[in-house]
Structures are given as C-alpha cells and as structure tokens.
Chain A
Amino acid sequence: KQEVTQIPAALSVPEGENLVLNCSFTDSAIYNLQWFRQDPGKGLTSLLLIQSSQREQTSGRLNASLDKSSGRSTLYIAASQPGDSATYLCAVRPLRGTQGGSEKLVFGKGTKLTVNP
C-alpha cells in the first residue's frame, strides 16, 4: 500500500530564506508526483507535476526534484516571501490503483509553512 510522508509537519522561517520541503513515498511504482499549495479554508492549487521519468521541474522560485528509486521528492523554494505561507501537499499517482488503473492520488498530510516578515 502506497504511503506518503511529509516532514516536517510545520516549518517557520524568516523572509528571504531558501527552504526545502520533503516528501517520501513507500512504493516507487508511480506515474507522477504532484506538489500542491493549500491556503486556509481553500482548495488545492497545483504547483508542479513531475512525471516518473523526470528528475526535476521548475516554476519561478519553485524547484521540485524526484528520486523515484529512493522514494523521495523535495520542493525547493528560493527567497521565501510571506505570501508563500500556506500548507504544501505532496501527492503521488500509483501505477496501479485499487480499480486496476492509476485513478487515485495518494496524499501526504502536508507541511504548514510560515514565512515571517
């Protein structure tokens, strides 16, 4: 059974700091891995999608890496800003779901990031 773990559960940093959020998963048989951002009481915003054949993806100040063999992904945020404060969720899409297809995203519980001015 695929399990996704995100450590730490919460992180507080001063503005301007570069930071790394960690995600680990137990089964390397995945189609892709997706990072999301969730603001309080809101839905999920997709940040980056990494296919299983890729090593990393970049969008602006965000860089996500994937090491499928070791079951790890990191989300690097450069020059953090107070507006980056949110919960960041990692999710993997298994190659084989319970219905035979890769229909389900398996989520971690998230890392709550606070960037202090």
Chain B
Amino acid sequence: SQTIHQWPATLVQPVGSPLSLECTVEGTSNPNLYWYRQAAGRGLQLLFYSVGIGQISSEVPQNLSASRPQDRQFILSSKKLLLSDSGFYLCAWSAQLNTEAFFGQGTRLTVV
C-alpha cells in the first residue's frame, strides 16, 4: 500500500532563517505531488504541484520554492523565512491530476 511521510512534524524558526521541509511517498511510481498550506481561519491553499522529476508549477507568488529531486521526493524551501510563512504545511499525492488525493500528517511551522 502507499504511504506518505512528512517531516519534521513541528518546527520553530527565526525570521530570516532558511527552511527545508521534506515529503516522500512510498508504494507508487510517478505520483503527482503537492504542497498545500493551511492558515488559521482559512482554507487550504495550493502552493506547488509537480507531475514529474524537476517539473514544478507554482500557484501563487511567495517567499517559498519547491523541488523534486527524485520521483517520490518533494521538498519545500525558503532562503529567508518571513513571519507570514507561519502555518500548517501539508504534502499530498495523487496517481493522476484528477484522482483521489492523499495527504501527509503535516508540519506545523512557527516563524518567530
């Protein structure tokens, strides 16, 4: 069966520091991968998605970037964190763009 792993579970980082969140999927090949952010009182917002290695699409302009160095690995990064980057970050995968999506357990990021 397929599983998705995200780490770390929680992270407290100072403003201006770099960020690296990692997500890996097991049990499937060539998944579509997604990064969402969930802010307090707001719905989930798609940040990035990837249909293959090295292929990244961004939904909104922001202080973050994403990379997919391997088929089942998706990384969310920032060179310098802002206070507004605080939130709950969720990685997800689906077999195709229009099929069922499965989410990881999330990373709670607090920028101080």
Chain A residue with the shortest CB-CB distance to B10? A41
Asked, given contacts A93-B98, A102-B98, whether A108 binds B43 with beta carbons under 8 Å apart, the answer is: yes
In which size bucket is the chain B interface? 20 to 34
| CB proximity to A under 8 Å, residues B53-112 | 57, 59, 90, 92, 97-106, 108
**CB < 8 Å: which of B6, B59, B105 contacts A104?**
B59
Contact B105 A109 (CB under 8 A): no
**CB < 8 Å: which of A31, A32, A42, A110 contacts B105?**
A42
- Please list the residues of chain B having a beta carbon within 8 angstroms of any beta carbon in chain A: 6, 32, 34, 41-44, 46, 49, 57, 59, 90, 92, 97-106, 108
In which size bucket is the chain A interface? 20 to 34
- Please list the residues of chain A having a beta carbon within 8 angstroms of any beta carbon in chain B: 4, 31-32, 34, 36, 41-46, 49, 89, 91, 93, 98-99, 101-110
- State A31–B96 Cα separation when bound (angstroms): 12
Residues of B within 8 A of A4 (CB): 43
Residues of A within 8 A of B6 (CB): 43
- State A107–B102 Cα separation when bound (angstroms): 14
Contacts A32-B98, A46-B100, A103-B57 known; list 18 others, CB within 8 Å.
Answer: A4-B43, A41-B106, A43-B6, A43-B90, A43-B103, A43-B105, A44-B90, A46-B102, A89-B44, A102-B97, A102-B98, A103-B46, A103-B97, A104-B46, A105-B46, A108-B43, A109-B42, A110-B43
- State A93–B46 Cα separation when bound (angstroms): 12
